[in-house]
């Protein structure tokens, strides 16, 4: 999950900006740290060779330089930030080969549901995508906030109930990556890691066909069961009954997920996460 | 009768909090018994608990912060051990416990360690530096302290009665809403912050007024020591920002108690509004903490370099620039929420702009050292350690202010490392520097240098061993608040971080040892001059510890570094013994208002958490009645007769003269 080992153009651009910014800053940070240590050492009271200048308390030139150095660095980095924010806007499309794949991600307590509305399939805790294709991801949450993040593909984004966020990614190399939730969401939060299977564009239709054949059905009822609090250790797949399921969730036609079941009115409810383990 | 409270609230099934709670309880009982048996209770009541003396209140703030630092530190140790062992296993802390620990750690460290520590130092020092006898509102000052203590008490109570929030230290909805957090944890969190928030606001108003209205003769704004400037900036931020926190938490509480829908999923609630509001307070809060630390370092670097602060006016400008800009950057805490590129870029750039005045400060400290005669006493070690560490924290801070970089680092362990880098490297190092520097002023004897230096080196190296691995883990995609994980490449870094935590703990032990050793050797370490560091500002112009009235005469200030001028002046005039004419001094009377008010506030807070409505009314009426009684007081001042002032002051002057004349030969 190394951020410096990107597997797609977004992550590559993110990490380039990250590294560039660090080097721009190191260019002034390293000399400054060196100067601090050098001055502290040389002007120690026990050094008779250091010249004591108690009246050196103002210098217009020095002031100009010390305001200018950080200001110039910020001008440079500000440019990087402005251009980078626009080029890497998560909502901006990332062109790829073949037809784009639409994915609708829903964060549940505490698992990820990935819906492929065009292919009419869905999967939990495993995202399967064709290499090189443009991925248009829409995201929402069934209950609390989460953040969808695949470190080696780049840019993360929040999921929120009753709202849809957009993210565009591309995975360039076949292989297995990992994703996670990057915003704390309750007891089962650490189990919200998911697999990202990047497969060849040629075998993607086969995967869709197999999933559609073998999976159980995902409709409103089975979704409501899925959104109960709990951890899902397996990676179940589904045939999608209604391609509008995501819209029903995002528009709250399906009400937000319930919280923990209350066992007593007292201060310490035992929540689903405990039972789920 | 008792609302939601019953026996199931005590976590009999969880040994860790129960044992910890029992140990603390036994400790408190032991101390109380000792106090009562030895007959110290009247002394404590008259001299400390009801004291409205800013120095005493400052000391109590710092004591509270130190005790809570141990509590928050224990949480940190538990978390680091958990993450070191919870690879492909549940570790030793179940999620419902681990989640409380990281929430409590953040809440405690910010609200009940960092805040009281810096407020305590400001209370102790600022009136002395301004050459005045007390803060603007002495009784209110006491109220502020005791309300902060109430908040801390409630947080600790949650350890054994009920639970603390499991939502993280900012309790983001909808997770913190009733449907997802039905327990009392979030209520403990919110009410303790509401009550201590009132205390903080009161302290802020008090210190702003003090700096603006109470300055001695000739102490105009551009002669104030840097610490007074940063105090002004920091407290202006408190006054402006804390009401936002209060309002935000009030809305959350309305949601939880009365079925409102400010931040719920249903009925048009908006969680993003909470994010905006909490960070509109939360970002200025960072500067509320770090600005006083900047002030402390300014005093320390200038004193131990034997020079006036380089570029004083530039520093003032930088401080006030930070004060203003810090209100315009809050959105950088959620770049990843899907705001458009224009919004992200503008807030990213605004966040970077804050780095300019901060960078200027670093350079000005650097040039203060240039041409100085630097004495490496413990406070100076903390200052140099801070400068190096804080620059690195600044670097990673500006890095996460670049939106595309933040898209990969948001909420990661890299971020955790970053804010610990600035809060430990900035605020905590500053607090320790200030503690070492002003301790002789507060108590009349110095701290042991050997243990102090050991504490510095262990804390300094321990910090790097703990947090550099967290930076690396963040670069490996690790996010924060993981109770367990299955990723092998994270493991080694978590183990190194746990080792670092052990080194940090040794640093804390050295700090405690330093205090013990210094108290034992206090006669040898006695400071009779009132000026142990050959320092420059007015707090050193009076004895250590200062008399209750601080100064027998209001000092006459003729320039920056007022006390330094006086010393030079005194040497030139070869210390002539002029006969001074002393006057009566009026000082504010001690008042139990703060303590009694906080007592009722504690009852009210506890009752609100547990829905015990009759007790809420009782506590509310009690707190209000306390104020009414105070408002109808007849005398609020007492007179120290001129003869007594003269006796105290002449004695102090003799001590000082004998030493200055010895030193004056140099």
SS (H, E, C) B421-480: HHHHHHHHHHHHHHHHHHHHHHHCECCCHHHHHHHHHHHHHHHHHHHHHHHHHHHCCCEC
Give the dihedral sign, CA B9/B15/B17/B18: positive
A46 touches chain B (CB under 8 A): no
- 3-state class percentages of chain B: helix first, strand second, coil last, to nearest 5: 70, 0, 25
Please list, in sequence order, all residues whose beta carbon lies within 8 angstroms of the beta carbon of residue B122, skipping any fewer than 6 positions away: B58, B207, B227, B231, B234, B235, B292
Q: What is the pLDDT of residue B353?
A: 92
Could you tell me what percent of chain B has a pLDDT over 90? 67
For residue A66, give the chain B residue with the closest CA. B360
Residue A168, SS3? strand
Do the Cβ atoms of B292 and B230 come closer than 8 Å? yes
Over residues B495-513, mean pLDDT: 95
Cα gap B21→B26, rounded to integer Å? 9
Beta-carbon separation of B265 and A147 below 8 A: no
Beta-carbon separation of A274 and B94 below 8 A: yes
Beta-carbon separation of B266 and A255 below 8 A: yes
Identify whether B663 is preceded by a cis peptide bond (ω within 30 of 0).
Answer: no
For residue B182, give the chain A residue with the closest CA. A269
Question: Residue B448's pLDDT band (boundaries 50, 70, 90)?
Answer: very high
Over residues B638-650, mean pLDDT: 88
- pLDDT per residue as tens digits for the range B563-591: 888 888 776 665 555 667 888 888 888 88
Residue B665 has pLDDT above 70, yes or no: no
Cα gap B140→B210, rounded to integer Å? 12
B89 touches chain A (CB under 8 A): no
Beta-carbon separation of B338 and A78 below 8 A: no
Q: What is the pLDDT of residue B580?
A: 75
Beta-carbon separation of B369 and A39 below 8 A: yes
Cα gap B604→B621, rounded to integer Å? 9
Q: How far is B647 from chain A (nearest CA, A)?
A: 37
- Which residues lie across from B122 on neighbouring strands? none
Beta-carbon separation of B408 and A89 below 8 A: no
Q: What is the pLDDT of residue A165?
A: 94
Beta-carbon separation of A165 and B338 below 8 A: yes
Burial code of B340-378, b = ≥16 C-beta within 10 A, e = fewer?
ebeebbbbbbbbbbbbbbbbbbbbbbbbbbbbbbbbbbb
Q: Which residues of A touch B559 (CB under 8 A)?
A: none
What H or E segment, with its residue span, contains residue B79? helix B54-85
- pLDDT per residue as tens digits for the range B94-113: 888 899 999 999 999 999 99
What H or E segment, with its residue span, contains residue B134? none
The token pair that represents A251 in the structure block? 């528009």
Q: What is the pLDDT of residue B451?
A: 95
Weakest-pLDDT range from A194-203, B89-98, B194-203, B442-451: B89-98
Cα gap B105→B69, rounded to integer Å? 10
Q: What is the pLDDT of residue B96?
A: 86
Helices (H), A7-135: 9-42, 60-87
Strands (E), chain A: 101-108, 111-116, 121-124, 126-130, 135-141, 146-150, 154-159, 165-169, 175-181, 194-199, 216-218, 237-240
Q: Which residues of A touch B163 (CB under 8 A)?
A: 267-268
The token pair that represents B34 in the structure block? 């000792």
Q: What is the pLDDT of residue A269?
A: 47
B364 touches chain A (CB under 8 A): yes
Cα gap A10→A12, rounded to integer Å? 5
Which parts of chain A sit beneath pLDDT 50?
264-267, 269-277
Q: How far is A120 from chain B (nearest CA, A)?
A: 27
Q: Return the higher-pLDDT residue of B319 and B23.
A: B319
- pLDDT per residue as tens digits for the range B39-78: 888 888 888 999 999 999 999 999 999 999 999 999 999 9
Q: What angle do CA A93, A99, A103 make, to 5 degrees?
A: 65
Residue B131 has pLDDT above 60, yes or no: yes
Which of A11, A69, A82 is closest, CB to CB, to B359?
A69
Cα gap B100→B137, rounded to integer Å? 37
Per-residue DSSP letter, B108 = I
Q: What is the pLDDT of residue A189?
A: 92
Maximum pairwise Cα distance, chain B: 79
Do the Cβ atoms of A157 and A92 come closer than 8 Å? no
For residue A264, give the chain B residue with the closest CA. B8
Cα gap A241→A103, rounded to integer Å? 16
Over residues B150-166, mean pLDDT: 89
**Closest C-alpha among B357, B256, B343 to residue B313:** B357
**Closest C-alpha among B390, B397, B391, B388 to residue B416:** B397
- How many contacts (CB atoms, under 8 Å) link A and B? 330
Beta-carbon separation of A91 and B184 below 8 A: no
Cα gap A46→A50, rounded to integer Å? 9
Interface of A with B in 215-274 (CB under 8 A): 252, 255-256, 258-260, 262, 264-271, 273-274
Interface of B with A in 467-486 (CB under 8 A): 475-486
Give me the half-sphere count of Cα atoms (radius 13 Å) on the Cβ side of residue A265: 7
- Helix and strand numbers (H, E) in chain B are 21, 2
Weakest-pLDDT range from B106-120, B147-161, B645-659: B645-659
Q: What is the pLDDT of residue B631?
A: 85
Q: What is the pLDDT of residue A259?
A: 82
The rounded Cα A71 to chain-centroid distance in angstroms is: 31
Beta-carbon separation of A186 and B481 below 8 A: no
Q: How far is B94 from chain A (nearest CA, A)?
A: 8
Report the complex ipTM: 0.91
Over residues B169-189, mean pLDDT: 91
Interface of A with B in 126-165 (CB under 8 A): 143-145, 147, 149, 151-152, 154-158, 160-162, 165
Q: How far is A126 from chain B (nearest CA, A)?
A: 16
Do the Cβ atoms of A145 and B265 come closer than 8 Å? no
Do the Cβ atoms of A108 and B376 come closer than 8 Å? no
Q: What is the pLDDT of residue B325?
A: 92
The token pair that represents B242 in the structure block? 């804390």
- pLDDT per residue as tens digits for the range B507-521: 999 999 999 999 999
B660 touches chain A (CB under 8 A): no
SS (H, E, C) B320-332: HHHHHHHHHCHHH
For residue B344, give the chain A residue with the closest CA. A85
Do the Cβ atoms of B359 and A69 come closer than 8 Å? yes
Which of A25, A36, A65 is closest, CB to CB, to B395?
A25
**Closest C-alpha among B229, B235, B226 to residue B208:** B235
Residue B657 CB coordination number (10 Å):
15
Beta-carbon separation of B360 and A274 below 8 A: no
């Amino acid at each position: 999950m190394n951020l410096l080992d990107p597997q797609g153009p977004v992550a590559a651009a993110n990490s380039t900006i990250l590294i560039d910014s660090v080097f721009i800053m190191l260019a002034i940070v390293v000399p400054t740290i060196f100067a601090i240590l050098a001055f502290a050492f040389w002007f120690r009271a026990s050094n008779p060779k250091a010249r004591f200048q108690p009246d050196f308390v103002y210098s217009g030139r020095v002031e100009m330089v010390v305001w200018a150095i950080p200001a110039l660095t910020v001008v440079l980095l500000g440019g990087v930030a402005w251009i980078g924010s626009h080029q890497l806007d998560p909502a901006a499309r990332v062109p790829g080969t073949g037809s784009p794949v639409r994915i609708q991600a829903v964060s549940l307590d505490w698992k990820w549901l990935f819906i492929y509305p065009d292919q009419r399939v869905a999967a939990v805790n495993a995202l399967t995508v064709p290499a090189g294709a443009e991925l248009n991801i829409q995201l929402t949450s069934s209950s609390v906030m989460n953040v969808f993040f695949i470190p080696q593909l780049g840019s993360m984004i929040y999921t929120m109930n009753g709202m849809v966020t957009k993210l565009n990614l591309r995975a360039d190399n076949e292989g297995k990556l990992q994703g996670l939730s990057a915003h704390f969401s309750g007891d089962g939060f650490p189990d919200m890691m998911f697999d990202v299977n990047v497969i060849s564009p040629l075998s993607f239709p086969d995967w869709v066909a197999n999933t559609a054949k073998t999976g159980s059905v995902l409709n409103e009822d089975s979704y409501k069961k899925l959104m109960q609090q709990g951890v899902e250790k397996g990676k179940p797949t589904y045939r999608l009954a209604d391609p509008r399921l995501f819209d029903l969730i995002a528009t709250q036609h399906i009400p937000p997920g319930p919280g923990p079941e209350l066992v007593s009115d007292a201060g310490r409810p035992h929540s689903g996460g405990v039972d789920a383990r | 009768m008792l609302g939601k409270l019953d026996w199931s609230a005590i976590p009999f099934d969880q040994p860790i909090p129960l044992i910890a709670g029992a140990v603390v309880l036994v400790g408190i009982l032991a101390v109380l018994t000792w106090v009562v048996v030895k007959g110290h209770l009247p002394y404590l009541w008259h001299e400390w608990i009801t004291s409205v003396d800013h120095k005493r209140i400052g000391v109590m703030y710092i004591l509270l912060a130190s005790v809570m630092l141990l509590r928050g530190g224990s949480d940190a140790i538990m978390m680091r051990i958990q993450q070191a062992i919870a690879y492909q296993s549940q570790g030793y802390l179940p999620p419902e416990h681990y989640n409380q620990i990281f929430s409590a750690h953040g809440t405690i460290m910010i609200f009940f360690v960092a805040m009281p520590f810096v407020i305590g130092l400001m209370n102790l020092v600022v009136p002395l530096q301004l050459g005045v006898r007390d803060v603007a509102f002495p009784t209110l000052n006491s109220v502020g302290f005791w309300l902060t203590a109430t908040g801390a008490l409630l947080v600790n109570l949650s350890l054994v009665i009920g639970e603390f929030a499991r939502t993280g230290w900012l309790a983001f909805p909808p997770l913190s809403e009733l449907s997802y957090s039905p327990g009392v944890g979030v209520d403990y969190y919110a009410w303790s912050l509401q009550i201590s928030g009132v205390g903080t606001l009161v302290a802020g108003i008090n210190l702003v007024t003090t700096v603006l209205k109470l300055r001695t003769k000739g102490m105009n704004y551009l002669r104030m020591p840097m610490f007074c400037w940063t105090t002004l900036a920091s407290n202006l931020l408190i006054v402006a920002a804390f009401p936002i926190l209060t309002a935000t938490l009030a809305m959350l509480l309305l949601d939880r108690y009365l079925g409102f829908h400010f931040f719920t999923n249903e009925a048009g609630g908006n969680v993003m509004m909470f994010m905006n509001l909490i960070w509109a307070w939360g970002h200025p809060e960072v500067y509320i903490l770090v600005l006083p630390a900047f002030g402390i370092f300014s005093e320390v670097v200038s004193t131990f370099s034997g020079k006036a602060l380089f570029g004083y006016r530039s520093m003032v400008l930088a401080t006030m620039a930070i004060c203003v800009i810090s209100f315009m950057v809050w959105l950088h805490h959620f770049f990843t929420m899907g705001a458009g590129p224009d919004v992200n870029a503008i807030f990213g750039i605004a966040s970077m702009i804050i780095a300019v005045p901060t960078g200027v400060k670093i350079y000005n400290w650097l040039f203060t050292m240039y041409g100085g005669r630097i004495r490496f006493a413990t406070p100076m070690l903390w200052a140099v350690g801070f400068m190096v560490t804080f620059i690195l924290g600044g670097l990673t801070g500006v890095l996460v202010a670049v939106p595309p970089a933040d898209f990969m680092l948001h909420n990661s362990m890299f971020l955790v490392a970053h804010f610990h880098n600035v809060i430990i490297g900035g605020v905590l190092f500053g607090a320790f520097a200030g503690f070492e520097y002003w301790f002789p002023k507060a108590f009349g004897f110095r701290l042991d240098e050997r243990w102090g230096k050991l504490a510095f080196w262990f804390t300094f190296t321990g910090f790097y061993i703990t947090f550099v691995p967290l930076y690396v883990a963040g670069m490996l995609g690790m996010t924060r608040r993981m109770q367990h994980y299955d990723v092998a490449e994270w493991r080694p870094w978590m183990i190194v971080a746990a080792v670092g935590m052990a080194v940090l703990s040794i640093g804390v032990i050295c700090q405690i040892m330093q205090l013990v050793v210094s108290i034992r050797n206090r006669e040898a370490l006695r400071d009779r001059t009132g000026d142990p560091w050959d320092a420059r500002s007015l707090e050193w112009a009076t004895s250590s510890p200062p008399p209750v009235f601080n100064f027998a005469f209001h000092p006459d200030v003729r320039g920056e570094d007022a006390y330094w001028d006086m010393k030079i002046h005194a040497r030139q005039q070869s210390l002539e013994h002029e006969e001074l004419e002393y006057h009566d001094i009026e000082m504010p009377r001690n008042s139990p208002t703060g303590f009694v008010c906080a007592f009722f506030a504690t009852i009210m807070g506890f009752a609100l958490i547990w829905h015990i409505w009759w007790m809420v009314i009782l506590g509310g009426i009690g707190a209000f009645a306390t104020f009414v009684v105070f408002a109808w007081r007849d005398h609020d001042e007492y007179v120290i007769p001129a003869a007594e002032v003269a006796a105290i002051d002449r004695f102090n002057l003799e001590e000082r003269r004998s030493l200055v004349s010895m030193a004056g030969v140099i």
